[in-house]
Amino acid sequence: MVSGVQMTPNRAEKLVLVAAGSSQAGLQRAVNEDHLATPEGMDSELLARRGHLYLVADGMGGHAAGEQASALAVSTVMEAYYGHPSLDPAQALTEAIRQANAAVYRQAQHPETAGMGSTVVAALVRGRDLYIAHVGDSRAYLIRGQTIRQITQDHSWVAEQVKAGLLSEEEARRHPQRNVVTRSLGSGPEVEVDLSCERLRPGDAVLLCSDGLTNEVGDEEIRQIVAGNDPQEAANQLVELAQQRGGSDDVTALVIGIRRARRPALVDRLKLSRFAPIVGGVAIAAIILTALYLALPFIKSLMPAAIPSPSPTAVAVVSTPTPPPSVSATTPTATPSPSTPTPTATPMPQPSPTVVMLPTPTVEELHQSLHEPWAAGDWEKVIGIVKQILTINPDNAEMVEKLYAAHVNYGHQLVAEGRPEEAKLEFTHALEVKPDGGEAILAMQALEASETPVPSAISTPAAQPIIHVVQQGEWLWAIARRYGTTAQAIMEANGLTSETIHPGQELRIPVQ
């Protein structure tokens, strides 16, 4: 069974999910007791509100009861999650799995399906947040660049032996008791659900799989296959490889690729989408005018008396010199000074030398136009204007400083917005401007430190945490900056799900 490819643009976060799965019965088995589920075909508005939920379940129990158990598990979790009254993803997901446990447990009381049970592993992607919940030994992995990390801890007898140092990973994989799970859906009226949260980045991939895969295929092999293929191909290859290795158990792999949304060409890149009709109109008008103008000598040669010789001021094509990319990132309303012409930033044909160029803003005007965005903290705009000044006057030391500061400030802002990848880029730009820039170096280090997985509470040495009491008007990112950490790190340390903080609130500041 192979599920289709699903693409869901999430405009606010500019992420696209591409998910595909493959599931095959074990070689000597009549039925596949694994099930997977994706939210494919669901209402897009519901998905935007509740996120995308993916599931893998591995059923157990004789006489096809295992197959029923895993089917019941995935259908109940899906239904219960999307129908849950709570919009809190962690709560809704945990309770949905508990409901699935109750459903399987009820079914397991019937004599013909007695003893049925199922594992379940769930990946919920909401914005950039990934929630992983599980019961049993089906796993979730996060594949990021050259690394693979098992997010879930198996609820199995062998995993406990490994944890206690009594078995190695490899021994566990071959152990005759490897299929014994210590926690499953259906074995009791209540079940404890493990839940964790990760922050996704474009380029990540998440794998959900049953033990039929992980008993046969090692983590590094999994990483290579997932990293080197699109989700569908990766899922197929993983399942095939497990079957080639013996594959007596059912095998399921569901791969979710996290991609940055491809930006629709120049208009969006310039952040002009709202102005698209205007920009489009201006572009067409400009092209027509330019074409007409260029054609004038030819028309004139046909009708020498009819058209007067064009004067240089006859064509009002507004054109700025080809702007550097970051300049074009400014919005079209970037000119507070009324005397400054509005740059159209429109993709236009290269103006012919005879086309009249309206004056580009003077350095003085550009300086003036800096105040407002600087005060407002509109760093993208500041960077655009400063770069314009520097193209005219490259040795302006004050502007070099400003460019550096703007990149650093913009980087901090992006960190606070939970966009670390883009923040990194800004700090990199800052260091290009000023390679010894202390703040950019520190910010970069803080970002890299926040990327390393936070060790579990048990293994953390008891460092004295700093407690910060929030003052009136304080922003989370500003607090993070003061302590040389990130808003994300503070959120994680305090279990916050949003950046909203209130005066008097005590925040635990993670010690770096």
Pairwise CA distance, residues 143 & 235, whole Å: 14
Nearer to Ca ion, 13 or 33 (CB): 33
For the CB of residue 207, give the shortest distance to Ca ion in the complex, in Å: 16
Give the nearer residue to Ca ion in terms of CB position, either 97 or 251. 251
Q: Does 216 bind Ca ion (CB under 5 A)?
A: no
The region of 170-178, 202-210, 218-226, 274-282 touching Ca ion under the rule CB under 5 A is 202-210
Per-position x/- string for 321-340, each x denoting binding to Ca ion as judged by CB under 5 A, each - no binding: --------------------
CA-nearest of 482, 505, 483, 481 to 494 is 505
Q: Which is nearer to Ca ion, 212 or 323 (CB)?
A: 212
Task: Please give the biggest Cα pair distance in the chain.
Answer: 103
With contacts defined by CB under 5 A, name the span among 40-48, 157-165, 211-219, 402-410 that binds Ca ion: 211-219
Please, which residue, 26 or 51, has the CB nearer to Ca ion? 26
Stretch that binds Ca ion, among 241-249, 255-263, 281-289, 316-324 (CB under 5 A): 241-249
Helix axes 89-108, 65-82, angle to 10 degrees: 150
Tokens linked to 96: 């949905």
Backbone angles phi, psi at 483, to 5 degrees: -95, 10
210 or 237: whose CB is closer to Ca ion?
210
Binding mask 65-94 for Ca ion (x = CB under 5 A): ------------------------------
Q: How far is the CB of 442 from Ca ion (least distance, A)?
A: 48
Q: Helix, strand, or coil here: 492?
A: helix
CB of 33 to Ca ion, least distance (A): 7
The answer to whether 154 contacts Ca ion (rule: CB under 5 A) is: no
Which residues make beta-bridge pairs with 149? 142
Nearer to Ca ion, 13 or 58 (CB): 58
Task: For residue 110, give the DSSP letter.
Answer: S
SS3 content of the chain, % helix, strand, coil (to 5): 45, 15, 40
Helix (H, G, I), strand (E, B) or coil at 362: coil
- Helix or strand holding residue 35 (H, E): strand 34-37
Query: CA triplet 255, 256, 257: central angle to 5 degrees?
Result: 115
Closer to Ca ion at the Cβ: 182 or 396?
182
Number of H helices, E strands in the chain: 18, 14
Window contacting Ca ion (CB under 5 A); options: 81-89, 206-214, 362-370, 464-472: 206-214
Neighbours of 325 (CB within 10 A): 11
Specify the pairing of strand 139-144 against strand 147-150: antiparallel
Rounded least distance, CB 109 to Ca ion, Å? 23
Interatomic CA distance for residues 228 and 290, integer angstroms: 48
What is the four-CA torsion angle of 85, 90, 91, 94, rounded to 10 degrees?
110
Which region among 205-213, 256-264, 299-307, 431-439 touches Ca ion (by CB under 5 A)?
205-213
Q: Based on CB atoms, which residue is closest to Ca ion, 58 or 154?
A: 58
**Residues 20-59 interacting with Ca ion (rule: CB under 5 A):** 58
Question: Cβ of residue 211: shortest distance to Ca ion, in angstroms?
Answer: 5
Task: Give bridge partners of residue 195 from the DSSP assignment.
Answer: 133
Which tokens go with 38? 């994706």
Min dist CB 79 to Ca ion, Å, is 24
**Is residue 137 a contact residue for Ca ion (CB under 5 A)?**
no
Q: Is 211 in the site for Ca ion (CB under 5 A)?
A: yes
Question: Is residue 249 a contact point for Ca ion (CB under 5 A)?
Answer: yes
Nearer to Ca ion, 247 or 257 (CB): 247
Q: Is 154 left (phi over 0), alpha (psi -120 to 50) or beta?
A: beta
| Residue 29: CB minimum distance to Ca ion, A | 10
Smallest gap from residue 84 Cβ to Ca ion (A): 28
List, in sequence order, every residue forming a beta bridge with 254; answer none if it has no partner: 21, 208
Min. distance of Cβ 212 from Ca ion in angstroms?
5
CB of 481 to Ca ion, least distance (A): 48
Give the interface with Ca ion as residue ranges (CB under 5 A): 58, 210-212, 249
